[in-house]
Every structure is written in C-alpha cells, then in structure tokens.
Amino acid sequence: MSGSGETITQKPETETTSQAPLKEPTRIYSGIQPTGEIHIGNYLGAIANWVKMIPRYDCIFCVVDYHAITIEYDPSVMQSAILDTAMIGMACGLDPDRCTFFIQSHVTETIELAWVFNTVTSFGALERMTQFKDKSAQHAENINTGLFTYPVLQTADILGVRADAVPVGEDQAQHLELAREIARRFNYLYGPTFPEPRTLLSPTPRVMGLDGQSKMSKSRGNYISMKDDGDTIRKKLSTAFTDPQRLRRSDPGNPDVCNIFTLHNAFSGPDEVAMIDTECRKAGIGCVDCKKMLARNLETTLAPIQDKYHSLVQRPGDVKDALSAGARRVRALTQETMTDVRRNLGLRDRNDP
C-alpha cells in the first residue's frame, strides 16, 4: 500500500480451491460486530477488502448486533457502538449509495429463518465448531445457547438474502462450510431454495497484535484503533514486539519474523518496504527507525478516514437514514426468501391462513 492512504494493494480475493469458479453477477454478504474499537486488523482483514468488492458485486454488509450479544457486553453503550461501527465502516469506503449497509436486528425475518435452520442442523455439527470451543474457553461463565447456535444465525444472515459468496478470514471458513451443509440439507429435504454460498478467503493473513502473541483485538489491548491520532500511534508502536532475536541496534534483523514489517507491507509503499527489508537484514536501520516510518505511514493512511468519520459524526441523521434504507432492502429480500421457505416447508401462508 502506498503511504498516501488512498488504497491498499492486495491480491484479489481468492476462493477456496474445492469450489467451482464464481458466476457473475454475484451477491456478497458479510458482517462486522459492534464490539469495541474498530482497529487496523479489522480494516486490513475485512473492511478494505469489502470496499474493493463493491464495484464488482451486489454487496450487502451488516453491523451484526445480535451476534454481539452472545458474549458479555455493556447494554448502556451498545446503541452508540452500533452507530459508531457503521460510521467507521462508511468512512472506510462502505458507501451506502454503492452498497447495502444495515443493522442486523432491524431485519427480524432473519431470526425466523434461523429457527427453521435449527431444525435441519445437527447438534454434533455445532459441537465441532472450533470458534464455539474458543469462545467458550474465553467466556466460561457465559456459555449460552446463542453462542452455540451462532453459526446457524450466521447462515440465516447469508441465505436470507441468498448471497452466493461470503468474504471471510480463515477463522470463519468452518462456519461457511456449515452454511453450505445447511443449504444442501434444506434443498434436499424441501426442494431447491438456497444457493450454496462460496467462501472468499481474505487475501490478508490474520493481523497479529502489537504484542506479537495473538490476533489483534481490543480486549487484549494490543491494537491500533482506526481513530488513533499520530501521538497515540507512535506511543503504541514504541513498545510493539519486533524480531525477538535482535537484541542490539548493531545486530542484523530478520523482517520475516517481525510483525512491524508485516504492517509495513500493508501500509508502506513498495520502495520503502524493499529498503526496510534490505537495511534491516544488515543492521542499516534499527527497530526505532522502522517504527517511526510505520507510524508516519499509518497516520497518513488513517487521516482521510478519520476526517470522513468526524464528518459523519456531525451528521448522524444521514447515517441512520442510510442504515434504514439498507434494512428496508434486506427486509424485502428476506421476506421473499421466507415466502418460498414457508411454502416449501408446507406451512400456511400468513396472508391466507
């Protein structure tokens, strides 16, 4: 990515190799949780990739507030967190004039579809979900049914709008395989109703936190927020983990194992990345120098996004109107889906009981 903050240069999104080539046009669906600060890991791993898809696909994006309440949260800040997440998304390029952007809980038909999908999803399939095991370990005092059936609601989100493909990170790929299984099972039992959504794996690998130990996340405090100013970025980077074998300034480094260099690949221009790679290996530059360059490029990249965000904060009515329009479109799509689902299930039409 150039230091100008305009675009991220990444490889195109890739399908999993076991799937057939995508047929155009394709409807894309994906969502982001309103839990905590949106950070550069969310941006690189999801949002920036979604923005690139908008000209190519019919894109539907969602603030997944129902998913967010499956773990402990503060109800007093949830409403503001939902709106703030939407504003950050729009500031990053999820333009509601070019894609559909809405709040999950504003389309209640999805919950009805999730109940239907519960009846064709085996208990064993949900038990095998790795993310449920991980979340259960992290939230041992609140292992609830919603957390267990999270992938079923996720499937309803996707298939309610009959999305053909879903851009996700590797940690969500297992959920997408389950979504395909649910679609196949329903189609087998009740007739052709749903597409089998393809997985579009993010071209950006998992973004590690500044501690170098785990995925970047607000709960671990190892993140750079999309709203951090230059001073905050420099302060956070000053203590960030680098090459563990480089103990002195005069020691040659190994960029291949340095998380700071990984971030340079995303936020710095190719010439600067090449220079850092060369100079680090021969101790031509130190970690302090490297961090200063990254801080400058991060600040340059985030500045226009932050300007747009602050503009949206001053116009909350416009943001709410855009989200309402998105929900109306998704509600219409999901109502159409549910009409077919009820008919195929043999249920009576609610307009002709």
The residues that are catalytic are 135, 215, 218
CA distance 218 to 304: 22
Q: Is 273 helix (H, G, I), strand (E, B) or coil?
A: helix
Q: Is 204 helix (H, G, I), strand (E, B) or coil?
A: coil
The answer to whether residues 226 and 40 touch, using CB atoms and an 8 Å cutoff, is yes
Q: Is 30 helix (H, G, I), strand (E, B) or coil?
A: strand
Amino acid identity for residue 343 in this structure: R
Burial class (CB within 10 angstroms; exposed 0-12, middle 13-18, buried 19+) of 22: middle
CA distance to 134, 139, 140, 152, per residue, from 143 (Å): 11, 6, 6, 16
DSSP labels for 172-199? GHHHHHHHHHHHHHHHHHH-S----PEE
Q: Which helix (H) or strand (E) holds 75?
A: helix 75-92
CA distance 353 to 351: 6
Q: Which helix (H) or strand (E) holds 22?
A: none
212 phi-psi bin (left φ>0, alpha ψ -120 to 50, beta other): left
Q: Is 8 helix (H, G, I), strand (E, B) or coil?
A: coil
DSSP 3-state percent helix, strand, coil across the chain (nearest 5): 55, 10, 35
- Cβ of 24: how many Cβ atoms within 10 Å? 8
